[in-house]
Amino acid sequence: MAAGKTKNTESATREVFVVYEEALKAFHGTKYTNALKLFGKIEEGFPEETEVLARIKSFRKICERQLANNQKDGLEGETAEAIFDLGVYYHNNGDFEKALELYAQALSKSKGNTDHVHYAVAATLSRQGNAAKAVESLKKAVAANSNCRFHASHDPDFGPIADDPGFRSIVGDA
């Protein structure tokens, strides 16, 4: 039994370094949004890898500082999806105002399907307790993609507004 556990530990250690290497490539390639996403994946997926987590703290701060500097320039050169991904990063870290700013930029830059951005806006507004605006954004998401109805009914981000009549009317028994 112990040998199997060692293999799993070795496999996890290898996997964390594969992701870490990918994150460093993105970082050194000045793809800060992608690097942050990968660093976040490490934090979420490998909480026991304390040495790696300690190393990525400084890289994360540099990424955030670079992206903040880019933010002043409207994230020139970043795609709508990259800006959206950064918004998700801020949402997941509890900085809802920053997430909403980035979602607005993603919407203005987007040339295609935006249901996922409207959905994310709704989730963030829900976390802020703003039921009316969350429902308004969720309606836009559902109008573009009816699958959003089901996802919202099972998404913990909508917990703060789960009993709101407007929310209930959208998700129904999904």
Model confidence over 133-151: pLDDT tens digits?
A: 999 999 999 999 999 999 9
pLDDT of residue 155: 94
Q: Please compute the mean of the pLDDT values over residues 56-71 and round it to a whole number.
A: 80
Number of domains in the chain: 2
Each residue of 82-125: pLDDT tens digit?
889 889 888 988 999 999 999 999 998 888 889 999 999 999 99
Neighbours of 32 (CB within 10 A): 25
Residue 37 has pLDDT above 60, yes or no: yes
Residue 8 has pLDDT above 90, yes or no: no
pLDDT-derived band at 79 (thresholds 50, 70, 90) equals confident
Domain boundary among 45, 73, 101: 73
Distance CA(66)–CA(53), nearest Å, equals: 20
Identify which of 17-31, 67-81, 93-107 has the greatest average pLDDT.
93-107
Of the two residues 111 and 38, the one the predictor is more confident about is 38
Local structure of 107: helix, strand or coil: helix
Q: Are residues 101 and 147 in the same domain?
A: yes
pLDDT of residue 6: 44
Among 113, 99, 124, which residue's Cα sits nearest to residue 147?
113
Q: Are 149 and 170 in contact (CB under 8 A)?
A: yes
Q: Are residues 96 and 39 in the same domain?
A: no
Q: Please compute the mean of the pLDDT values over residues 22-34 and round it to a whole number.
A: 86
Q: Are residues 103 and 163 in the same domain?
A: yes
Q: Which amino acid is at 117?
A: V
Q: Are residues 58 and 87 in the same domain?
A: no
- Return the structure tokens found at 35: 């690097």
pLDDT-derived band at 4 (thresholds 50, 70, 90) equals very low
Q: Are residues 53 and 110 in the same domain?
A: no
Domain that holds residue 146: 79-174
Q: Are residues 67 and 85 in the same domain?
A: no
Local structure of 57: helix, strand or coil: helix
Q: Are residues 127 and 59 in the same domain?
A: no
Domain boundary among 47, 73, 99: 73
Q: Are residues 85 and 121 in the same domain?
A: yes
Q: Are residues 124 and 59 in the same domain?
A: no
The model's pTM? 0.61
**Could you tell me the CATH number of the domain that includes residue 126?**
1.25.40.10
Domain boundary among 73, 90, 112: 73
Q: Are residues 38 and 53 in the same domain?
A: yes
